[in-house]
Structure formats: C-alpha cells, structure tokens
Structure 1
Amino acid sequence: MQKSPNEADRHIGKRIRLRRIALGMSQEKLADALGLTFQQIQKYEKGINRIGAGRLHEIGLILGVDVTYFFDGLLGRNALLNANDNVLHLVASNPHGAKLIELFASVEDSNIQRSIVKLVEAVLSARETVRS
C-alpha cells in the first residue's frame, strides 16, 4: 500500500521547482535527464507524487545541490518555508513571475541584473508616487 503525499512531499516539490527555475531549466529538460515525462516532474513539484530517496538524490545531482537542500525550511511535521523562499515561491507560482525569474537567471552580466532591479524599483516607486 502506497502512502499518499503529505506536507513534506509538497515542500520538497516546491524546493525542486525553485531550484529548477533558478537554473533556468525547463520541466522537460529535467524530465529528460531523469528519463521521465515532464508530467511526472509536474506531479513531483506539486507534491502529488512522492519521490523516493534514490530519485531525490538523482534530482539533486542534476540540479547541483545536496539532497539536504530539499529539506531546508522543513520543521517538524509542518512544511514551513523561510521568508525568502516564501517570497520566491509566491513569485515562481505566478506564470509571469516564473518567466521573470527564468529570464533574470539567464542574465550573466551583474550590471544588467542591477539595472533590472533598479528598473523594477523605479516602477514601484512611481506607482507609489501616483497613489499618494
């Protein structure tokens, strides 16, 4: 009898998604590296399907992280993300946010990255000025 996914499974799935997006890797590319379909990766990331220890180790190797990365922020029986991961998860769960993260991660020039951040800050500042 197979156990159903729990909060830890959902937390691990979120961590996989965050790392994959941070690397600019598609679900298809991760799936190919694991010999799976992208639908299976979607199920892992949503916490619908549980991930065995060996498979999690493989995912860690592909994503360039130690397996402990997937458990960071997991406390006791509740899956809790730290503040930075929570913000990143909120952004990554929005299609536009996920695309922004993917594009930002592909920019190698730190000056351009800084300019992008300044642009977003200027847009938000202008928005606040208009509201005032």
Structure 2
Amino acid sequence: MKHPVDVHVGKRIRHRRWMVGMTQQQLAENVGIKFQQIQKYETGMNRVSASRLWDIAETLDVPVSFFFEGYEGEAGAERSAKTSVQGDILADKEALELVRSYYAIPENQRRRLFDLARVLSDAA
C-alpha cells in the first residue's frame, strides 16, 4: 500500500522534473539509477531514500524540503482539499506547460504579460 508521504514526494519529483524539462531517463542517468526506478518514485510505489532524495534534489536544483512542501498529513488533507485547488492545478499538464513557458520569457516581458493577465482576469 502506498504511503501518502511517498505519493506526495513522488508527485513533487514529477512536477519539478517536468518544470525543468527533464525526462525520466535524463533524471535517472544524472542520479545513477534506471528510469523505471524514477517511475516507481513518481507514483509512490517505492520510497525514496534520504541519500537518493538528496541526489534528486541536487539534480533538479531544489532543496530537499521542496519535496515536502504542501504536505499537511492526513488530518490536513481534508481541510486542504476544501480550501485549495493548487494540487489540482499542478496536476494539469496544460497549466504546468503554461507555467514553464511563462518562466522561459525574459523577465521584463514576463512582468508585462503578468500585468496583462491580471487586467484581463479583473475584467472577466
């Protein structure tokens, strides 16, 4: 049976890997394991050891704590589901692609695009 923490960490690995445009194969090669192991981590089927999580964090250029962000445990899960849709948004491939494309835009243009999006959403 999958443990909720393992599932959460796996989702965070997948999201970060996707955000930086890295394949499972590339991550696996950088960490020194087979891509099938990355698949098992990302689904929560296998737990990630502390040293392996450290290697993954270094490869994906995030602190280890990144993989635990947003996890509130079983008691907070119900409350979180009612008050936030962030988990649902991050699960949407189109939203992730939009965010990745957004951060690929030079900062001064990105700021203008952000201001435009804010005005359009206020007008809607």
**Fold shared per TM-score above 0.5:** yes
> In 1, distance between residues paired with 2:56 and 2:62?
8
1:51-85 Cα deviation digits (max 9, x unpaired): 122211110111222323222333455575x79x9
Q: Percent identity?
A: 36
Structure 2 match to 1:93? 91
Specify whether residues 62 and 74 from structure 1 end up closer, same or farther in structure 2 by C-alpha distance, changes over 3 A only: same
Deviates more, 1:98-107 or 1:24-33: 24-33
> In 2, distance between residues paired with 1:46 and 1:120?
34
Runs of at least 5 residues in structure 2 that lack an aligned partner in the other structure: none
1:15 aligned to 2:33?
Answer: no
CA RMSD across the alignment: 3.0
Structure with the larger helix share: 2
> In 1, distance between residues paired with 2:99 and 2:53?
23
> In 2, distance between residues paired with 1:119 and 1:40?
42
- Alignment of structure 1 residues 1-132 onto 2, 5 Å: 4-76=1-73, 80=77, 87=86, 89-107=87-105, 109-125=106-122, 128=124
Letter in 1 for 2:91: S
How many Å apart are 1:105 and its aligned residue? 2.5
What TM-score do you get using the length of structure 1 for normalisation?
0.66
> In 2, distance between residues paired with 1:45 and 1:36?
14
* Residue aligned with 2:48, SS: coil
* Residue aligned with 2:22, SS: coil
What TM-score do you get using the length of structure 2 for normalisation?
0.70
Specify whether residues 57 and 79 from structure 1 end up closer, same or farther in structure 2 by C-alpha distance, changes over 3 A only: farther
> In 1, distance between residues paired with 2:74 and 2:89?
25
1:9-37 Cα deviation digits (max 9, x unpaired): 01111222333344343434323312345
Specify whether residues 96 and 53 from structure 1 end up closer, same or farther in structure 2 by C-alpha distance, changes over 3 A only: same
> In 1, distance between residues paired with 2:72 and 2:122?
36
How many Å apart are 1:125 and its aligned residue? 4.5
